[in-house]
A = this chain, B = another copy of it.
Amino acid sequence: MKSYLKLTNEEKKAELEALYGMLEAEKAKGYKLDMSRGKPAPDQLDMSMDMLSVAPETMIRSCKGTDARNYGVLDGLDEAKELFAEILGLSPNNIIVGGQSSLNLMYDCIIRAFVFGVYGGSKPWGQQGKLKFLCPVPGYDRHFRITEEFGIEMINIPMSPEGPDMALVKEYVENDPAVKGIWCVPKYSNPQGYTYSAETVKAFAALKPAADDFRIFWDNAYIVHAFREKDDELLNIFDACAEYGSEDMVYEFMSTSKVTFPGSGVAVIAASENNVKFILKQMGVQTIGFDKVNQLRHVNYLKDAEGVKAHMEKLAELMRPKFDCVVNTLSENLGDLEIGKWTNPNGGYFVCFEGLPGTAKRCVGLCAEAGVKLTGAGAPFPYGKDPEDSTIRIAPSFPSVEQLSDSIKVFCICQRIAALETLIS
């Protein structure tokens, strides 16, 4: 196929007419396909069913003899802390195993910072007037919804395959005390699947914030979620911070939502011992403890970092063909048209498509008409506003490969239409 940029206006119009016809044919198929959310597929969840038949008697006692069924142990059972410490390359003293939703932990960190402040901060965020957060874009819509809810001004930071633009991050963080935090998905970023380079991680560690209560929200959601032979390497941010004594600046998060069961997994906050102590003191007013039976269920099932890796390799077998299908179908249908590019990550949950400016909303709308649901255009940006209206997040995990193939074919028709509509003069 010839680049759309090289077509004459007449050729574009003819092509567009043909595509409208193709789209009508797709609509007639009555699809009901969903690529909107990063949800595991049922067959992926089936892989963890054995966790639900872990022997009941192994969920009673922790290694220290604590009765996991009873109240207490706010920071999590030792064996659970050890499992996550091993995965994160930290000490169990840096771990709080808290509930089943890392998003909930992030929200709670922010609302407590807002009302009570953070370790080392001179006053609560909420008593300091206008606040700002840096938002690498495209990013995770649910991060942005939290900061939006608090009326925190969100500032777009461009992403590259190396991570966020660190010169810009440094400029904001080191000069503006209203900047209280930054949202990061450092490995297999949502939605691009980029992994921050070692230089980027070091630049984070080297930050000297103007605010005494600035925090990096390091959402390591996809830390164990490689699905190709090569697993991206992410420098341990706490190792990098150790050189600068900046460990108190980082809150790291992870969960087993996409390891075992979303919503029924185990979520973790990892932080310096200063932060851990401070957070536990606040958390101890909020609750007596989290679900320790579920902690033991996970430890008994996953065992250790090696066990998690083996489990994730089984899930990778299911994910890889889906991502292959997406990128191959995109290549086949859009390869030479010069109307968009897309990422091809080694892990995570998303492919990010970047089309011509002004095409994303139109494409998502056309797909919806043909029964293919995509994440809303703009969703990966603060306030839902994609300045270029060009970025679309594709979530290949939930549909089957067949459904994906159908969906992406429809997507490509819609992208071609949207592109031609903007190109025709």
Contact = CB atoms under 8 A, between A and B. Distances in A.
Interface of A: 37, 39-40, 42, 45, 48-50, 52-53, 56-57, 59, 67-72, 99-101, 103-104, 107-108, 111-112, 114-116, 126, 142, 145-146, 149-150, 257, 261-264, 282, 285-294
Contacts of A49: 56-57
A302 to B, nearest CB: 16
**Shortest 5 CB-CB contacts between residues of A and residues of B:** A52-B56, A264-B293, A104-B287, A107-B286, A69-B261
A146 B112 CA distance: 13
8 contacts: A37-B71, A48-B69, A69-B264, A70-B262, A101-B287, A111-B115, A115-B126, A264-B293
Given A71-B39, A115-B114, A103 B261 contact: no
Contacts of A101: 287-290
A67 B52 contact: no
A226 B72 CA distance: 24
Given A40-B70, A103-B286, 17 more contacts: A39-B71, A48-B69, A49-B56, A52-B59, A52-B293, A53-B53, A69-B263, A71-B262, A111-B111, A111-B115, A114-B115, A126-B126, A146-B286, A262-B288, A263-B292, A264-B292, A291-B291
Contact of A100 (B107, B111, B150, B291): B291
B103 A288 contact: yes
A108 B99 CA distance: 14
Contact of A261 (B116, B149, B293): B293
B285 A263 contact: no
Nearest to A281: B149
A263 B290 contact: yes
A56 B53 contact: yes
B53 A67 contact: no
A108 B286 contact: yes
A287 B53 CA distance: 27
Contact of A264 (B149, B285, B291): B291
Nearest to A285: B149
A216 to B, nearest CB: 20
Nearest to A74: B263
Contacts of A56: 49-50, 52-53
A103 B37 CA distance: 31
B263 A70 contact: yes
Contacts of A285: 107, 145-146, 149
A361 to B, nearest CB: 23
Contact of A291 (B59, B142, B263): B263
Nearest to A261: B69
A282 B72 CA distance: 28
Q: Which of A146, A150, A291 has the most CB of B within 10 A?
A: A291
Given A59-B52, A104-B286, A294 B262 contact: no
A147 to B, nearest CB: 10
A49 B39 CA distance: 31
A103 B287 contact: yes
